[in-house]
């Protein structure tokens, strides 16, 4: 169980993301600085209790025209070897001290726990409340047997998201640009072997839903 500390962060997560997100291929904004708002998300527990795992939804822009992004992040008390390219930035945590924030798609702890969530072996935790499940997170898995954790260390970004290639002809896609279905269509991607969907808040107080991650065979990726 992750313990949520309500304390200060310098710089804040959104301040780190403001400079980092425009460097990503999937960022949809223009040349100006992002106008980010934390709109939702959830957490997963690290079984070893060392790494913070957060799937944040951050919106960019005002009102109904804001674009929603999925930003998986991990927080560590020391640098992750070989992951310099995935470092979002460093922060000073009011309780835990220095923290290294990483793009979680490149962190094996986050990837392993996301696969465990898809399989149903772990449950999504509330983003800001200790020991509270996030009931809005939905997952599915129709594959045969347990998933291998050997998805390697390579995560490839494109204009919509990030793809991790694993064994047995599987790919795991994280949708960085979140596109909720507005017509009542099923959210489960066609041909998906497994998926995770979640929700976030809109400016009018309503909730939007979209697929956060989808697991496919190679032929369907």
Q: Is the pLDDT of residue 221 over 50?
A: no
Contact 198, 69 (CB under 8 A): no
pLDDT tens for residues 30-77? 777 899 999 999 999 999 999 999 999 999 988 778 999 999 999 999
pLDDT tens for residues 122-147? 999 999 888 899 999 999 999 887 88
**Number of compact structural domains in the chain:** 1
157 pLDDT band, cuts 50/70/90, is very high
List the Cα angle 108/161/216 in 5-degree steps: 70
The two three-digit tokens of residue 148, written as one number: 């291998």
CB contact set of 113 (below 8 Å; sequence gap of 6+): 44, 45, 46, 47, 53, 122
CB contact set of 28 (below 8 Å; sequence gap of 6+): 60, 67, 177
What is the pTM for the complete model shown? 0.91
Q: Is the pLDDT of residue 187 over 50?
A: yes
Residue 73 lies in a domain: yes
Structural domain harbouring 66: 9-220
Residue 4 lies in a domain: no
CA distance 39 to 109: 24
Q: Return the pLDDT at 220.
A: 42
Residue 141 lies in a domain: yes
Residue 216 lies in a domain: yes
Residue 2 lies in a domain: no
Contact 160, 175 (CB under 8 A): yes
Percentage of the chain exceeding pLDDT 90: 66
Residue 104 lies in a domain: yes
Contact 133, 125 (CB under 8 A): yes
Instruction: Choose between 183 and 171: higher pLDDT.
Output: 171
CB contact set of 43 (below 8 Å; sequence gap of 6+): 2, 52, 53, 54, 55, 124, 125, 126, 127, 134
Residue 1 lies in a domain: no
CA distance 166 to 173: 11
Residue 15 lies in a domain: yes
């Amino acid at each position: 169980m992750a313990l949520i500390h309500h304390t200060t962060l310098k710089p804040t997560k959104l301040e780190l993301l403001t400079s980092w997100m425009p460097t990503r291929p999937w960022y949809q904004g223009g040349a100006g600085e992002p106008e980010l708002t934390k709109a939702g998300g959830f957490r997963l527990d690290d079984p070893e209790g060392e790494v913070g795992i957060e799937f944040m939804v951050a919106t960019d822009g005002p009102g109904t025209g804001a674009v929603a992004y999925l930003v998986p992040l991990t927080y560590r008390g020391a640098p992750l070897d070989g992951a310099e390219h995935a470092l979002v930035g460093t922060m000073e945590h009011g309780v835990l001290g220095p923290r290294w924030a990483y793009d979680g798609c490149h962190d094996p702890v986050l990837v392993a726990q996301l696969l465990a969530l898809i399989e149903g072996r772990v449950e999504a935790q509330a983003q800001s409340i200790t020991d509270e499940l996030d009931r809005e997170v939905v997952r599915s898995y129709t594959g045969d047997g347990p998933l291998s954790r050997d998805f390697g260390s390579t995560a490839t970004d494109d204009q919509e998201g990030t793809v991790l290639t694993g064994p047995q002809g599987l790919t795991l896609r994280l949708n960085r640009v979140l596109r909720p279905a507005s017509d009542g269509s099923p959210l489960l991607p066609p041909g998906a072997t497994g998926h995770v969907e979640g929700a976030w808040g809109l400016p009018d107080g309503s909730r939007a839903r979209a697929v956060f991650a989808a697991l496919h065979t190679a032929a369907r990726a």
